[in-house]
Every structure is written in C-alpha cells, then in structure tokens.
Amino acid sequence: MPGRLKQVLLGDPLHNKESAHQRLSNPVALAVFSSDALSSVAYATEEILLVLVLAGTAALELALPIAAGIGLLLLVVATSYRQTIKAYPSGGGAYIVAKENLGTYPGLVAGASLLVDYTLTVAVSISAGTSAITSAFPTLMPYRVEIAVALTVLLALANLRGVRESGALFAGPTYLFIIMLGALVITGLVKVALGMTIEVPAHGYESAAGTLTLFLLLRAFASGCTAMTGVEAIANGVQAFRQPEARNARTTLSWMAGILLFLFVGTTALAQFSGVQPSHTETVISQLARGVFGSGVLYFLLQVATAAILVIAANTSYADFPRLASFMASDGFLPKQLRERGRRLVHSNGILLLTAVAILLLIVFRGDTHRLIPLYAIGVFTSFTLSQSGMVVHWLRSRDEGWRSSIAVNGLGALTTAVVLVVIAIAKFSQGAWIVLLVVPVLVAYFAWVKRHYTKVELRLRIAKGDPDVLDPATHEDLHNHVVILVGAFDRRLVRAIQYARTLRADSMEAIYVDITGTQGEKMRRKWAEYRIEIPLTVIDSPYREIIDPILRHIRRIPRPDRDHAITVIIPEFVPEDRVDFLLHDQTAFWIKQALFVEPGVIAVDVPYHLSSDLARNTE
Amino acid sequence: MPGRLKQVLLGDPLHNKESAHQRLSNPVALAVFSSDALSSVAYATEEILLVLVLAGTAALELALPIAAGIGLLLLVVATSYRQTIKAYPSGGGAYIVAKENLGTYPGLVAGASLLVDYTLTVAVSISAGTSAITSAFPTLMPYRVEIAVALTVLLALANLRGVRESGALFAGPTYLFIIMLGALVITGLVKVALGMTIEVPAHGYESAAGTLTLFLLLRAFASGCTAMTGVEAIANGVQAFRQPEARNARTTLSWMAGILLFLFVGTTALAQFSGVQPSHTETVISQLARGVFGSGVLYFLLQVATAAILVIAANTSYADFPRLASFMASDGFLPKQLRERGRRLVHSNGILLLTAVAILLLIVFRGDTHRLIPLYAIGVFTSFTLSQSGMVVHWLRSRDEGWRSSIAVNGLGALTTAVVLVVIAIAKFSQGAWIVLLVVPVLVAYFAWVKRHYTKVELRLRIAKGDPDVLDPATHEDLHNHVVILVGAFDRRLVRAIQYARTLRADSMEAIYVDITGTQGEKMRRKWAEYRIEIPLTVIDSPYREIIDPILRHIRRIPRPDRDHAITVIIPEFVPEDRVDFLLHDQTAFWIKQALFVEPGVIAVDVPYHLSSDLARNTE
C-alpha cells in the first residue's frame, strides 16, 4: 500500500513504548468486550420463541423458565470465569487454561473452537446488523451481501488503527442499547404490573399446533444459549485492562453478567407477559418496543441502537481473534506472521485473516443470519467446558487458598457446560452444528502439522551447544567459489556484471550463453574475441529453445568436492526507470532465480544495471 | 505448468530444425486461411436482407445487385493481393507493405486495424458458431458464454500444438461447408430455372414499410461487406506455404476468391429468386436449405457444416494474429515476448494474448454476434486501403516489369476500398464502428510508446563503437565491494551466509541486525561475542517495527566514491523441503530484495540454506 494512503487510513505508526498506554478503562472495556454477549439479547429470546411456537402458542409459556435456566447457567459460567481471571491475570483464555492444565490437544481443541466462534460472531453479527438496516430501508435488500462486506471492511480498518480508538468509537452504541433496552424492559414490566395491556400483533398461530416433546424443549434451550456467546471475552482479554488488570477485569465481568442477565431474562419475561409471538417479518424486540413505546422516537432510537450494537458486536472478535491467534503463533501452532504487531501495535495479520474468512462466510451464506446461528454456540460451549475443566485441575495442583471452594465452582461450571454442549450438539446437529464438529478437528490437525514443521526447521537450523567453532574462519577457509556469468546480450548490463564479478574472489570463472536460434552463439563468440575478454565463454546450443534447463544441467556438472562449495551465478539485469516498463521485458531472469534458489550450494546474484545510474552517465 | 500436463496438452517440443517442415500444402492452406472469408457467407446475405427489409419486401430485389457489386469489389481486392504476394513473397501483410512504402505511422495504423480485426474475427465467429449450436440445442442457451469461452480455449490449445496439426484438424469442416453450400446453390438455382417453387416461410413483412433511401442502400452494402473479411489472410501468411511459397499462395488465393464469389453471389441470387425473407428466429441459409433440401439429412449436414466452419473461422486469426504480432514485436512496436516461439515453434504468447482478449470480448458482449458485427469490417478495409496504396508506391519506386499495369490494378484497389471504408464508417458509425475508430489510434499511440521505450533502453545499454576498453580489467580494478550481512536469527542460515561472505573479496564487511522489540539486539550482541565472530555487528533499533527502511537508510550511508562501487547485501534464507511450507515463513526477504533491486550499485545476494543439504548433514 502506498505510504500516503496507509497514513490516511491507519494513522501514524506507533512507537514500541506506546504499547503500555494502549489499555482500556473499565467502562470502555465493558463496551469493547461485551457488545457480543449483550447484542445476542436482540435475537436469543426470539430464537427460543421460534422453536416453542412449533408446539403452538400455549407452549410459549415455557420461554421464561427456559430463560431463567439459561440465566442460572450464565451465573455459573461468569462465577467460574471470575476464578479464571484471578488465577490467570495475564489473560486466561480457554486455550491457555486448557493447554496448561489438560495438555496440548485439549488446548488446541479449545483454541480451534474459539477461533471458529470468533469468526462466526463476525458473520452472524454483521448479518443481523445488516438485516436491521435492510428492514428499515427495504430498497437496500438486493445489496445485503455488499453492505455486510462493506461493514466488515470498515470494522477491520477501525481495528487496524488500534484498540483504543476502536473502543472509543464503539462505546456509544453499546451504552445506548443498554439504556434503551433497559428502559423497554422496565417500562414494559411496570405496565404489566399496573394491569395495562401491551398491544402486540397476532400472527395466526394455533394454540396447540404440535406436540411439546422433550427434544423440542432442548432445542429451545439450545437456541437460547446463543445468549451466552461472548461471555468469555473478558477473561481472554485481561491484558487490555488498566492496572491492576485482574481486579478491573473481574469487576467488569460481573457488571457484564449482571446487565446481560437483567436484559435477557427481562426481555423474555416481558415477551411472555405481553403474549408476543415470533414473526418472520418483524423481530420480537421491535414488536415489544412498538407495543410499549408506540412507533415514535423511543422506538426508533431502540431500533438504531439494536442495529448498531449488532454490527459492532463483531468488534469483540476483532479484539480477541488476533490476540488468540498471536498466542497460538507464539507457541508455534499457527504461522509466525500472526504473531507480529503492525504499524499501530495491533496484530494486523490476524485482523486481515479474520476479515477474509468472515467475508467468505458472508458471501457463502448470502448474509443470512438464520442459517449461520445453528453453527454458533458449539464452539463457545466447547471452550467453556475445557476451560472450566482445566481450572479444576489447576486448583488441584496449586492448592492455593480456598482451592476446595474454587474446585466446587469450576467443577459445577465444567459439568453444566459439558451437559449443555452435548444438548446443543444433538439438538442442532442437522441444522449446521455438524459443520463445526467437522472443522474443529481439521483445524487441530492443521495446528499440529504447523507445529511439527516449525519444530523440524528449528532443529535443523539450530546451532548445537558445544559447537562454538562452527563460525571459526578456520573451518571454512578451504571453501571455493565458482563464478558463472549468464550472458543474455552483449551490452552494458554485461559490462556491469563482469565488473562486479571481478570484485569477487573466484576460484574459477566462466560465462555461459544459451543459443536458442542456432546463429547467435557464433556472433557472441566473435564479440568476446573482439573485446578481448579473459573470462572463458561457453556457448550452449538449445535447439528446443529452452533456457533454464540447459543452464541447470551445465551448473550441476561443475565439479566441486561437496555442496558447501559455492557456485555463484551472476545474472545481469537492468532496472527500468518506471515500474510500468517491467512488463515490456521478459521475466526470464525471475524464473532462472526461482530455479537456482532450490539448487543446493548455488547462489544467484542479480546484478542490476540502472538506466539512470552514475555508471551509465560515467561511461556514456 | 507441470511438465507432464504440458506434454499431454501440447505434445513433444519441436527442434529448431523442424521449423521448415511446418508448411502447408495448398488444399490444407486453403482450409486454414479461408475459413474466415468463406464462413462469412453464412451471414453476409442475411445482413444485406435485414437492412433492405426495413424499406419493405419490395426492396429485397436490390440484394442481388448489391451482392454483385461486392463480388466485383472482391475481384478487385483479390487481384490486388495477387500483386502483393508477387512483390512480397516473404509475407506481405498490410502492416509490412504500408510501413515500407508509406512510412511508419500508416504501417502502425494498418497493424492496429488488423490486430483489432483478427480479435473480432475470433469473437464474431465463435459467437455465431455458438448460436448455431444453441439453436440446435435450445437448452444450452443459458450457457452460451461458457460454451463460447470453452470453444476459444480449445482453439487456443489446437494452435499451441502447432499450425500443421491444426490445419489437418480444420480442413474437413471447411470442405464439407463448401460442398454442402455449393450443392444448395446449384440445386436451388436449377430448381428455379426449371420453374419449381422453393417453399420458404413468410414473416409478415409489408411490401413497402419504409422509404428506400440512399443511406439505407449504403448500409445494406456496408453490411454485406462483412463477406470480404479474411480475404487478406493468404497474403499475410505466404511463409506458411510450401515452396515455391509465392506461387502456391497466389494459386490458393485465386481459388479462395472464386469459391467465395460463387457461394456469396449464388446464395444471394437464390435468396432473391426464392423470395426468402430474413427472420430473427431462423437464419436465411437454414430457410433456403429447408426449402431446397427439405428437413432431412442434407439439411442437417449443411447446418452442422455451417456451425463448424463458423467456429473454426476463428482459426484464421490464430494463424495470423500471432504472426503479425511477432513481426511488430521484432520491429520493437510490441513487447518482445510476442516475438519468441514456444515449445512447438508457434508464437505461444501471441496465441495466449489473442485468446485472452477474445474471451474478454465474448464476456463483455455476452457472445452476441449482432452486437459485434458492426465493429467488424472497419479494420479490414482500413488495412486493404493502406496495403493497396502502399503497393502503388512500391511499383512507382521499383519500376519492375509491368509496373504500369500493376499500378492500375493496385490503384483501383486502393481507391475502391477507400471509398468503401468511408461508406462503412459512416453507415455503421453509431452501431459500434466508433469503438474501432477509437481503439485504433490508442493502439498506434501504444506501439509508438513501446518503440520509444525500447529505443531508449537500447541506447542506454549499447556499448558504443570505439569503446573497446570498456571491458578491460584495468578499467575497473580499483572498484570496491562492501559486504553487508543481514542477520535475522542466530542459526545455521547465518553460518552459511558468513561462510559464503568469507569467500568474497570484500573491502569491508559488517553484519546488521534490525531490532524491532527493543530487547533482542542485546541478545544478538552477546551471541556475537560468545562465538567470537570477527565481522563487526551493528544493531539498528527500530521501535516502529519497520525492517526495510532502516536497512535502506543504513546502506545509503555507507561511504563510497561513487555508485560503481558495489555494496553486496547478503540475505540468509532457507529453502523448505516442500513448496507448501513457504507460506509458513514470512516474506520479508522477498520485500527486502525488491527494495534493494532499485538501489543503484547495491547487489542483493540470497544465500539459501537447504534443510536437506550436505551442509546440514555435514555439520549436524
């Protein structure tokens, strides 16, 4: 990217020293890390109702008990994670906790689950946010994929600029959503308590359309569990908090859990007491808001806030995915490029990777939220279970103060989330959960493959202890260097190449010319004689007009004791004054270099001749 | 392309000596070079009728006089080209004739016109052929662009294999078309002469729907002139004939003109006498064949032959476009890559370029023949005019035997084609001819730009006469070589790089390490001391985590008398055992090389370390 454009899009580069300042205050951290969890309130209640209504409107009575159960689960998980933060103040994501306490493979499973889930968070939230926009402006409907992709790119840019700026950018909508939805729940419930009717449309469902089976109840529960996605975000991101990180993170986690519990259970209660029914044309939240607020300014504000928080919920993943990917890259399970921090001290490559995969998901699923949601909760509950199980082992080993009660808390967490995981996997299997159950093992295998590769390379490249003489000049003083000049044309490029070759300490030197015409070789020999060049010229006939293969064959036949003895191949090139000009010259030199790169002991040396160089001026 | 696949698709490579054998016998040459001209009979009559019918069915009576006029024009042009072949036995395309006799720019205009026309020939013929296929199998209609692209790719492959094979491949359909259409014309005209009625459908046109204006007549004439495209092909391709090339080419040209004249005028006469009317659902040829043959085997054979010759008409361009492009590239007006001959002695790059542009046209115009045809005849008449004018100048200069009559022939040719060119440009301007009138000057400007570039480069690279000492060792013996080793990590790559650096005759040597962490630099210094490396180490702090810029700044500050004095930058790299592994390692070395390539006097040297090398084994 040209420097100027980069400057405008990303801002000035940040100095390493500015790293410590890139921390978030608690209120900003709450906005950054909980938009994912909180935004799911916008659809979790509706997902429960959509399943229950299959058994008729009478079954909708079961929504509140299910929501209460999920609320209880939320309390268990949040309490468990408070323990995790205490034990892992440097950031205790499921990956780290599972790896340290349960072993490498459970850690990799947790890592894969989280990476999948973060990616889905982006796709689901952006899709749902786009739906909110296209519901408001139906003429935009045909462009929903384009809008979703554009929003993803905007998010990526905001995050490439750095986490502080994006935190400030996103705090507003999160708080607006909390206030507006809170106001809806309180006003609505007060109205219900005062015996006032909340007017909601009827959608013509029957009172008892089907049988209420246990499986249906479990599916409703599994669907409602999407409300829990994102709860782990704070525990993974402790290092983004101000000091003391652990205490700030624990406090923020408690706040988030409390707000989420209130909004989710409150919304579901209001839905049940008002008798609202799910619809395919209007969201449950929208119906409730119209019933409670009327279709005025308050309704409009809530809809805007809902759309905004859905879009920026994706931001939680932009905070967490690159961080987790960099942890895993540091451990050698992902390509090293994911470890580096870019111009603005963020893990730019992780951001770009997340963006690419999310855009792919948006395009493949045509930005359809309801097709993405069944894939969604599997990953997060896998990581919950592994993380809490890991904490149980942690307390068993450490026996820190209060380890018995900690085991009880995390053990309960592990047990409940494990049960829920099995329930979700079974209840949603055929609707898409199978994809995740397939992708996670593939990712784990990939991590293992990457690790094996890096380990092998490191072992081969490492200088063994007790080998201090490996760099002693005496050990290589008898190495030879054979210099070969590739001749393409008799011109100033060649002059420069010969000039350079003469500065080398060559044991032997020759020039080779590949003649593909059957006539040019003789001309080259005459030129060679005319200019009295002392370097011997070899002309290689190539009647099949190949260039690279004859060169390789010739080089391989050069005698040398072993492949430590270098063959330096000098390739005369010239540097056009303008980048466009490159296309006018053939790329043979490039392909020759590619071929020579993999030849043991052969070193390809480009000797560029600059059209605008001093040399050209000097010798003109 | 992997060697095995190439082998299967293209066949064995051909030896330079096999070049002379790749010549065509006259019957095969007729098929190769005239399918373009002959296939236009399949639509030229229809194009005339489609214009005339705008003035009502009564105006259709004018078709035969117009066709006769075009036939006369054909005789004039063919006679002119016979002269050209005589004067330019080595291949006298409009480009060469115009350039030699009229000057560079007229030559370039002719060249541009022909290149445009060849490309259009591919697009038009493939579109029309695809239409014939999709008319027979209407279910294929939605895939017409895909079919057209697939056919183009098949043609490209056939031509990449070589001209002899493609000639044999295409002779069959051409002769089948000549025989079947000839049979239709003769049988039909005999039936007419015997007073038998040929039954053709009525399409409900009125007898006098509009006014017959002069402009309409000219448009009908211009549309009919598409029958003339491709007549120049033989004169351009004299070198593909067997010896004596010129005589064989002249004979073949006469045959082609005779056959074309007979088929075109005959078809138009039959159309007029039978009272056939143009339709948008069935071609004129198809209506005539059904009327004359009935809907039996003969009808079916003609339709198949028509479809086949339309598709392979594109082959004329595959013979001519790469040849013309290579002429122009040899003259420096097109990139040099178009000059080279590939594995099978054909100009592979020209074939690939033609294929790419034709596919682009097919996609942009959605494979619609009728939208492409108005662009079509401009180029060919431009080249006719320039070529014939050039011949007039040629005879004036050479005064060869019979030059006066030759001037008369070519002068008449130049004059008539010039008039026709103006007529076509005006009559078809708004329907698409303007695109060609725009593209040709752009191409000419591009040719001139390419030529300027090559001339400039050649002047700068040339070793001037009277400068025989430029390669005398004495002139550069005082040049220095400063060696810089870029250190990335302290491992065996570095060992190999240092080992290699010690084989160079360096005036000064240093190692540099860019520290982007603020902590690694110190560790590197300690390693350096521990291993007692005599090369001084410079650690460059880069708190903004840039790598390339600090290296460039450091290198630019190295003192040297001028830029002839080399700075050799050694970049330690390693060669993974497997190509997939490349992605796991960052591409910093690649970008460093890119940056160094344009630094005057700086020579980047990749020192690869092979994981599987002897060195690794030796020192393990």
Name the pairing type of β-strands A508-515 and A537-541: parallel
Residue A616's pLDDT is what? Answer: 42
Q: What is the mean pLDDT of chain B?
A: 85
b/e A593-604 (16+ beta carbons within 10 angstroms → b): bebbeebbbbbb
B227 within a domain of the structure (yes/no): yes
| Mutant choice from B10, B460, B586 vs A, greatest count of A C-beta within 10 A | B460
Closest residue, chain A, to B499 (C-alpha):
A476
Average pLDDT over residues A36-46: 87
Answer whether B556 touches A (CB < 8 Å): no
Average pLDDT over residues B208-215: 79
Q: A430 and A515: one domain?
A: no
Give the angle B571-B577-B578 at the CA atoms, nearest 5°: 110
Cis amide leading into B244 (omega within 30):
yes
Q: A428 and A486: one domain?
A: no
Answer whether A502 touches B (CB < 8 Å): yes
Cβ contact A605–B609 (<8 Å): no
C-alpha–C-alpha distance, residues A389 and A202, integer Å: 46
Query: CA of A552, closest CA in chain B: separation in Å?
Result: 16
pLDDT in tens, B449-476: 999 988 988 888 888 776 666 777 776 6
- Per the structure block, which two tokens stand in for B194? 């015997």
A396 within a domain of the structure (yes/no): no
In chain A, how many domains are there? 2
Q: Write down which residue in B400, B430, B455 finishes a domain.
A: B455
pLDDT in tens, B266-320: 999 999 998 888 876 678 888 899 889 887 888 888 888 888 888 778 887 887 8
- Residue A90 sits in a domain whose CATH number is 1.20.1740.10
Q: Write down which residue in B455, B484, B503 finishes a domain.
A: B455
Residue A440 pLDDT > 90, yes or no?
yes
Q: B477 and B438: one domain?
A: no
Average pLDDT over residues A556-564: 83
Residue A29 pLDDT > 80, yes or no?
yes
Which range has the worst mean pLDDT, A159-168, A364-373, A551-560, B207-216?
A159-168
Closest CA to B406 of B397, B385, B73, B111: B397
For chain B, positions 16-45, list CB contacts with chain A under 8 A. Answer: 16-17
Give the angle B322-B328-B334 at the CA atoms, nearest 5°: 90
Q: Are A48 and A223 in contact (CB under 8 A)?
A: yes
pLDDT in tens, A296-350: 888 888 888 888 888 778 887 887 899 889 989 999 999 988 887 776 667 888 9
A411 within a domain of the structure (yes/no): no
Cβ contact B14–A574 (<8 Å): no
A448 pLDDT band, cuts 50/70/90, is: very high
B503 within a domain of the structure (yes/no): yes
Residue B331's pLDDT is what? Answer: 92
Q: Count A/B contacts: CB-CB distance under 8 Å.
A: 228
Answer whether A574 touches B (CB < 8 Å): yes
Q: B16 and B124: one domain?
A: yes
Residue A155's pLDDT is what? Answer: 87
Q: Write down which residue in B455, B483, B507 finishes a domain.
A: B455
B539 pLDDT band, cuts 50/70/90, is: very high
Average pLDDT over residues A414-426: 90
Q: Are A106 and A386 in contact (CB under 8 A)?
A: yes
Give kind and range of the element (H or E) at residue B608: strand B602-610
pLDDT in tens, B402-448: 888 889 989 998 998 999 899 889 888 888 888 899 999 999 999 99
Q: A252 and A356: one domain?
A: yes
B141 pLDDT band, cuts 50/70/90, is: confident
Name the residue with higher pLDDT: B104 or B28: B104
Cβ contact A610–B600 (<8 Å): yes
Residue B158's pLDDT is what? Answer: 82
pLDDT in tens, A481-511: 899 999 988 888 888 898 888 888 888 899 9
A116 within a domain of the structure (yes/no): yes
Provide DSSP, A228-249. GTTTTHHHHTGGGBPSSHHHHH
B contacts of A537 (beta carbons < 8 Å): none
Name the residue with higher pLDDT: B563 or A252: A252
A620 pLDDT band, cuts 50/70/90, is: very low
Q: B33 and B156: one domain?
A: yes
Cβ contact A603–B607 (<8 Å): yes
pLDDT in tens, B244-274: 888 999 999 999 999 999 999 999 999 999 8
Give kind and range of the element (H or E) at residue B326: helix B297-330
Name the residue with higher pLDDT: A208 or A560: A560
- Per the structure block, which two tokens stand in for B68? 């006769």
Which single residue is written with the structure tokens 């043609």?
A: B155
- Per the structure block, which two tokens stand in for B582? 């490349």
Helix orientation angle between A492-502 and B433-461, rounded to the nearest 10 degrees = 40
C-alpha–C-alpha distance, residues B532 and A212, integer Å: 80
Q: Are A338 and A329 in contact (CB under 8 A)?
A: yes
For chain B, positions 343-382, list CB contacts with chain A under 8 A. Answer: 343
Q: B577 and B432: one domain?
A: no
- Residue B483 sits in a domain whose CATH number is 3.40.50
- Per the structure block, which two tokens stand in for A388? 């809490």
Q: Of B16, B468, B473, which is closest to A534 when you measure between CB atoms?
A: B473
A166 pLDDT band, cuts 50/70/90, is: low
- Percentage with pLDDT > 90 across chain B: 29
Which range has the worst mean pLDDT, A520-529, A564-573, A581-590, B206-215?
A581-590
Residue A283's pLDDT is what? Answer: 80
B616 pLDDT band, cuts 50/70/90, is: very low
Query: CA of B268, closest CA in chain A: separation in Å?
Result: 48
Q: A232 and A161: one domain?
A: yes
Residue A615 pLDDT > 50, yes or no?
no
Answer whether A337 touches B (CB < 8 Å): yes
Residue A617's pLDDT is what? Answer: 43
Provide DSSP, A179-225. HHHHHHHHHHHHHHHTTPPPP-------TT-S---HHHHHHHHHHHG
A122 pLDDT band, cuts 50/70/90, is: very high
Q: Cα(first)–Cα(last) distance of chain B, in Å? A: 37
Q: Of B470, B480, B505, which is closest to A619 when you measure between CB atoms?
A: B470
Residue B564 pLDDT > 80, yes or no?
no
Q: A494 and A444: one domain?
A: no
ipTM exceeding the 0.85 mark: no
pLDDT in tens, A61-111: 899 999 999 999 999 999 988 988 888 887 767 888 899 999 999 999 999
A461 within a domain of the structure (yes/no): no
B619 pLDDT band, cuts 50/70/90, is: very low
Q: Of A335, A505, A516, which is closest to B504 when you measure between CB atoms?
A: A505
Average pLDDT over residues A250-277: 93
B460 within a domain of the structure (yes/no): no
Q: Are A526 and A511 in contact (CB under 8 A)?
A: no
Q: A362 and A509: one domain?
A: no
Residue B156 pLDDT > 50, yes or no?
yes
Residue A167's pLDDT is what? Answer: 66
pLDDT in tens, B328-381: 999 999 998 888 777 666 788 899 999 999 999 998 888 877 778 888 888 889
C-alpha–C-alpha distance, residues A295 and A55, integer Å: 31
B461 within a domain of the structure (yes/no): no
DSSP, collapsed to helix, strand or coil, labels residue B536 as coil
C-alpha–C-alpha distance, residues B322 and B166, integer Å: 15
Closest CA to B384 of B71, B15, B77: B77
Closest residue, chain A, to B339 (C-alpha):
A586
Answer whether B540 touches A (CB < 8 Å): no
Residue B618 pLDDT > 50, yes or no?
no
Residue A468's pLDDT is what? Answer: 61
- Percentage with pLDDT > 90 across chain A: 29
Q: B379 and B266: one domain?
A: yes
The pTM score is 0.72
Cβ contact A463–B498 (<8 Å): no
Closest CA to A20 of A195, A222, A241: A241
pLDDT in tens, B77-93: 999 889 888 888 877 67
Q: Where in the sequence is the domain holding B576, given as residue range(s)?
A: 470-619
Query: CA of A13, closest CA in chain B: separation in Å?
Result: 6
Q: B29 and B117: one domain?
A: yes
Provide DSSP, A53-74. GGG-GGGGGGHHHHHHHHHHHH
Average pLDDT over residues A146-150: 91
Residue B21 pLDDT > 60, yes or no?
no
For chain A, positions 213-232, list CB contacts with chain B under 8 A. Answer: none
Answer whether B543 touches A (CB < 8 Å): yes
CA distances from B266 to A353, B187, B270, B433 (A): 67, 11, 6, 29
Answer whether B505 touches A (CB < 8 Å): yes
Cβ contact B479–A14 (<8 Å): no
